[in-house]
Chain A
Amino acid sequence: MANLQTTVNGITFKNPIIAASGTFGFGEEYNQLFDVNCLGGISSKGLTLKPKDGNLGIRVYETPSGMMNSVGLQNPGIEAFIEHYIPVMRQWDTVLIANMGGHSMDDYVTGAEMLSRADIDMLELNISCPNVKSGGMAFGIKADVAAEVVTAVRKVCRKPLIVKLSPNAENIVEMAQACEAAGADSLSLVNTFQAMAIDIHRRKPIFNNVYAGLSGAAIRPIALRMVHSVAKAVQIPVIGLGGITSAEDVLAFMMAGASAVQIGTVNFTTPDAGKIIVEELNALCEREHIENIQDVVGVI
């Protein structure tokens, strides 16, 4: 057996596979299909201070080798998460990451304060959310805006702080460095790419919000490039994601510099993908004579 253990910010993951936010709920549904204890970690559905209903109309849509989504952060709110879902997720021996979004600086700070006091292992800050103050442009586009959020959250956050970068950032490397300087303990990337689909018969966009987020295998090569350039440019650990569908992809992201990875859309293609990828990673490491998976991190 290869040693798949990996460490990010002093937190030990039994293997580098983390279920990505928004694709795995709070783990309950998938735990009915396979034992989620086999995962290195689970990142919760994106949480906001207040419960959110999310968007109307079509929310998911198949695209070549991928999908688009416009769920709109439907979630029960941080209070309900702490009360109902942390106890559920704590039954499992897997790293518990709370993923949090916001629409104003106050949302982020208050939310981070609450989650920081709760029984979670790490906080993942989703900065891809639209900023109400700047006409809906996401916090994660301009490095100075993102740095402001990270600085404010850092002040109140007593858990390891992962900042999840948007690939729509003006310059992903500058964004990463700005978040590092503002106090991020680690970075995860990428979130979804802003994309569009049109129903030509109705002459209307597929999504009510016109644009939606692209994920899945289609984005993998770009995500890999971004993980590589960011990992080269920062000192803090990087968690890689974007279109991972196999153990081979996991190794590629780790060789590009990721200390751990997340799997999102593949959970829909293959409902027990988490379990399968962990098993295959074990076998693959043996075939490749990798004794400690951490040894391959950043070899390229």
Chain B
Amino acid sequence: MKYFQSTVLSNIQLTDDIFVVQVVRHGAPVSAGQFFMLKCWDKELTLMRPISVYQATEETLSFMYRVVGEGTRRLSQLQKGDAISLLGGLGNGYPLDQLHGHIAVVGGGVGIPPLSLTARMLQAQGETVDAYLGYRDQLFAIEAFEPYCRDIFVSSEHGPEGYRGFITDLLKAEQYDAVLTCGPEVMMRKVAQLCAEKQVTCWCSMEHRMACGIGACLGCSIPTSEGMKRVCKDGPIFLSTHLFQEV
């Protein structure tokens, strides 16, 4: 983990409210499922905002985000050459060394982008990856899965193409050695339940409001079957069986 000032390389609008910002990496460490705390303000806002890593190269980091409030609105106004502060890579990330064979990544909304880096890393270590991507209406980031996945399933509630409904309707958990999921909690609970029925290991990427992002303030603690855990430090990746009592 590292706190550093960086420069915006590009900030592109993909849909009405989804953007992808690319910044200079400055040697920051990153692994699949990790996130960074970001800020492009000095005194105007108090807290940095947690955003997952969408893609990374030797020289760059990309973050895909939805504009939902003041912090993400300010991010959306960034232009090439602007300054941005980053703290990361943060969190445990997916246990890549425990993931082997046929893996499904199941994403919903802005939970989709971080799974792209994960799919890439899984493919790089020789695993077979299928992607299940659930959208509300407008589609994005599908091309970021194409190079790394065998099959890609797409659903949307009101969108233009693909299956109409929830992505969990399409998931056949029994086909997989492990399922990784990131998205709204209702979706992850459903994924966890489908996996539990077929005794498939399921890893969930949790979200919680954060202040420090590094494990010091206990602002992001959640109850788990293993006691209170900090989403920012002990997570954000948790075994579904540790999170959801019913599975």
Contact = CB atoms under 8 A, between A and B. Distances in A.
Contacts of B87: 33, 271
Contacts of B39: 269
Interface residues of A, number: 33
Interface stretch (B102-110, B159-167, B213-221): B213-221
Contacts of A58: 209
Interface string B193-223: 0000000000000000111101111111101
A269 B217 contact: no
Interface string A215-257: 0110000000000000000000000000001000000000000
B46 interface: yes
Nearest to A69: B219
Interface stretch (A24-32, A119-127, A175-183, A290-298): A24-32
Contact of A33 (B3, B209, B217): B3
A60 interface: yes
Q: How many of chain B's residues touch chain A, expressed as a range?
A: 20 to 34
A59 B1 CA distance: 24
A47 to B, nearest CB: 13
Nearest to A53: B228
Contacts of A130: none
Interface in B212-247: 212, 214-221, 223, 227-228, 233
A272 interface: yes
Contacts of A43: none
A33 B214 contact: yes
A65 interface: yes
A245 B228 contact: no
B209 A24 contact: no
A71 interface: yes
Interface in A42-60: 45, 53-54, 56, 58-60
Interface string B39-52: 10001011110000
B211 A67 contact: yes
A61 B43 CA distance: 16
A267 B218 contact: no
A271 B3 CA distance: 7
A272 B46 contact: no
B221 A59 contact: yes
In order of increasing CB-CB distance, the 3 nearest A-B pairs are A25-B216, A60-B219, A29-B216
